[in-house]
Amino acid sequence: MASQENTQELRNLILVLGDQLCRNVSSLDGADRDQDIILMAEVSEEAGYVRHHKKKIAFLFSAMRHFARELEEDGWKVRYTKLDDPENSGSLAGEIERALDGQRFSRVVITEPGEYRVKSALDAWAEASGAVLEMRQDSRFLCSHERFQSWAEGRKQLRMEYFYREMRRETGLLMQGDQPEGGKWNFDQENRKPAKGDLCLPHPLETRPDAITEEVLDLVEARFGSHFGSLRPFWFAVTREGALQALEDFAEKALSCFGDYQDAMLEGERFLYHSVLSQYMNSGLLEPMEVCRRVERAYYEGDAPLNAAEGFIRQVIGWREYVRGIYWLNMPGYTEQNYFGASRPLPEFYWNGETGMACLAAAITQTRDEAYAHHIQRLMVTGNFAMLAGVDPHEVHEWYLAVYADAYEWVEAPNVIGMSQFADGGLLGSKPYAASGNYINKMSNHCAGCSYDVKRKTGEKACPFNSLYWDFLVRNAGKLRGNPRLRQVYRTWDRMSAERQNAYLEAAREVLERHLKE
């Protein structure tokens, strides 16, 4: 890798990716400010492999520029390529090649990329170029690929709950010796309260864009103006300091109600008591363990009840780690899975929110405006509708990957392909998250203002979720009837008169005709 031009001996070229904006990232372990060079690059290959939400691109580019500046202020040598740099090659491999050209490096060091696609491209580049590429484990996660693999090995079924208990024991979070705090591992039963409209709801902390962010916003408008989503107002934090303030704000104002209203939805309320911290954790601005420690502290100081603290910690050291394990265990190929053979196109209204279904309109409109929707909106509204309607899961996957500020394939794909579409046939979850309008009505107030009637099962005014629910179950009975968790549901169907059954199926046909064209 050395050339004749420059005789100065450099040690490592350290590539820091846009979702590794963390001073503790393993690629910087043992790095030397005097000898090593940190490479960061905004490349069109990454910004454009799906048509990401404008806010997501702006968030990452601005956070990268701030991180690079902080490193430089701290004495590091940083080689930073902006997207509009005329020399920009457009790809990560191309930027490594440019950095290596004429320089003497003994190796390229990187923390393993979160996405299989990026890892494969870098491995392929190293093999083709003959360069020494040292890929280190991503120590921001609790569970390594090997660890997850050995946990999964020999188990008939993988279930998050058992994995989560191991993570609790390992971290000691909310543990009293070897026993869980409060005598139970999981307080989910207490976390299903519907929210009331008169709650005094907090809003996530807003950060005013500085000059760096403004420059990025202009760049994104110029280069990605046709992508989905509103760019302004832009209020995400783009530095570690800002993200820490957002964490503090959440712990003080919202955490105490996080558990109770975790599954609730309210018309006009986009965040409820959710943390809106996933984009900070997934990009490296916050470390998952420090977030969990802060939440645990709130519990021990009496600022949050146990069902809130445990519920939150379970999402992070349980679900977040578990889905990552599932992703790496099943790649490549996981994103192509299609257990039900679903093939309908994604309805157009997923891109413009123009639908009379109030729950879907709310989830999609806020996704467009904020690059954010909370878990139940993603799972039980947009995800549920797509699965019931038989939309091709790969199209659904590409939509989720594009539209959320926190979307990276390692976390998005298992949530979409596995949890929300059941396209992996039950690898991640034990049954499909399929629900009729009744569930949405119980957990939200959307139905009150909807142009459809949640109580009606058939007819033009009937809530579309109602007939689609049965149509989905009947369509896929061959694959689902044997599922013990669905036995009761199929019994209900079997007890219906043939006339009623036909009315449901006919109504579903009409709904699909109408709404897939919307």
Ligand X SMILES: Cc1cc2nc3c(=O)[nH]c(=O)nc-3n(C[C@H](O)[C@H](O)[C@H](O)COP(=O)(O)OP(=O)(O)OC[C@H]3O[C@@H](n4cnc5c(N)ncnc54)[C@H](O)[C@@H]3O)c2cc1C
CA–CA separation, 381 and 361 (whole Å):
10
Q: Is 319 in the site for ligand X (CB under 6 A)?
A: yes
Q: What is the C-alpha separation between 37 and 108, in angstroms, rounded?
A: 10
User: Is the CB of 59 or the CB of 452 nearer to ligand SF4?
Assistant: 452
Residue with tokens 């060079």: 37
Contact stretch for ligand X (CB under 6 A) within 33-41, 87-95, 277-285, 435-443: 277-285
Selection from ligand X, ligand SF4, none that 347 binds (CB < 5 to 8 A by kind) is none
**With CB cut-offs between 5 and 8 Å by kind, which of ligand SF4, ligand X, none does residue 465 bind?**
ligand SF4
The reply to whether 407 sits near ligand X by the rule CB under 6 A is yes
| Residue pair 455/449 in contact by the 8 Å Cβ criterion | no
Per CB under 6 A, 357 contacts ligand SF4: yes
Residue 95: enclosing H or E segment and its boundaries? helix 92-100
> Which one, 201 or 359, has the nearer CB to ligand SF4?
359
**Is 366 a binder of ligand X (CB under 6 A)?**
no
Task: In angstroms, give the least distance from the CB of 444 to ligand SF4.
Answer: 7
According to DSSP, the residues that pair with 107 across neighbouring strands are: 12
Q: What phi and psi values does residue 13 have, to the nearest 5 degrees? A: -100, 115
Q: Is 110 exposed, middle or buried (0-12, 13-18, 19+ CB in 10 A)?
A: buried
Q: Provide the β-strand partners of residue 391.
A: 344
Residue 281 within binding range of ligand X, rule CB under 6 A: yes
Q: Rounded to 5 degrees, what are φ and ψ at 478? A: -60, -30
- Binding segment for ligand X (CB under 6 A), chosen from 317-325, 339-347, 348-356, 482-490, is 317-325
Quote the least distance from Cβ 379 to ligand X, whole Å. Answer: 4
Helices (H) and strands (E) in the chain, counts: 24, 7
- Minimum gap (Å) between residue 290 Cβ and ligand X: 13
Partner whose footprint covers residue 357, from ligand SF4, ligand X, none (CB < 5 to 8 Å by kind): ligand SF4
Binding footprint of ligand X, residue count (CB under 6 A): 28
Long-range contacts for 221-225 (Cβ within 8 Å, ≥24 apart)?
Answer: 221/54, 223/47, 223/83, 223/84, 224/47, 224/51, 224/52, 224/54, 224/57, 225/54
DSSP labels, 437-506: HHHHHHH-SGGGG-SSBTT--SSTTB-HHHHHHHHHHHHTHHHHTT-GGGHHHHHHHHHS-HHHHHHHHH
Report the nearest approach of ligand X to the CB of residue 320 (Å). Answer: 4
Residue 282 CB, nearest distance to ligand X (Å)? 5
Q: Which of 10, 419, 428, 435 binds ligand X (CB under 6 A)?
A: 419
Calculate ∠ Cα 298-302-305, nearest 5°.
Answer: 80
Contact letters for ligand SF4, residues 441-460 (x by CB under 6 A):
x----xx--x-x-x------
Answer for which of 399, 408, 465, 469 binds ligand SF4 (CB under 6 A) is: 465
285 binds, among ligand X, ligand SF4, none (CB under 5 to 8 A by kind): none
- C-beta of 91 vs 171, nearer to ligand X: 171
Tokens found for residue 272: 């409820």
For ligand SF4, which stretch binds (CB under 6 A), given 78-86, 146-154, 185-193, 463-471? 463-471
- Nearest residue to 224 (alpha-carbon basis) of 416, 371, 55: 55
> Under the criterion CB under 6 A, does residue 312 sit at the interface with ligand X?
yes
Local structure of 151: helix, strand or coil:
helix
Which of 25, 43, 359, 371 contacts ligand SF4 by CB under 6 A? 359
Render the burial of 319-332: b for 16+ CB within 10 Å, e for the rest.
Answer: bbbbbbbbbbbbbe
Question: Minimal distance in Å, beta carbon 437 to ligand SF4?
Answer: 4
Question: Which of 56-70 are b and which e, b meaning 16 or more Cβ less than 10 Å from the residue's Cβ?
Answer: bbbbbbbbbbbbbeb
Per-residue mark of binding to ligand SF4, 415-444 (x: CB under 6 A): ----------------------x--xx---
Q: Which of 12, 26, 191, 275 binds ligand X (CB under 6 A)?
A: 275
Considering the rule CB under 6 A, would residue 315 count as an interface residue with ligand X? Answer: yes
Three-state secondary structure call for residue 30: coil
Residue 415 binds to ligand X (criterion: CB under 6 A)? yes
Tell whether residue 416 is a contact of ligand X (CB under 6 A).
Answer: yes
Per CB under 6 A, does 213 bind ligand SF4? no
The torsion defined by the Cα of 141, 143, 145 and 149, in degrees rounded to 10, comes to: -160
By CB under 6 A, tell whether 358 contacts ligand SF4: yes
- Minimum Å distance from CB 508 to ligand SF4? 14
Judged by the rule CB under 6 A, the positions of this chain that interact with ligand X are 274-278, 281-282, 312, 315-316, 319-320, 323, 374-375, 378-379, 383, 400, 404, 406-407, 411-412, 415-416, 419-420
Footprint of ligand SF4 (CB under 6 A): 357-359, 437, 440-441, 446-447, 450, 452, 454, 463-465
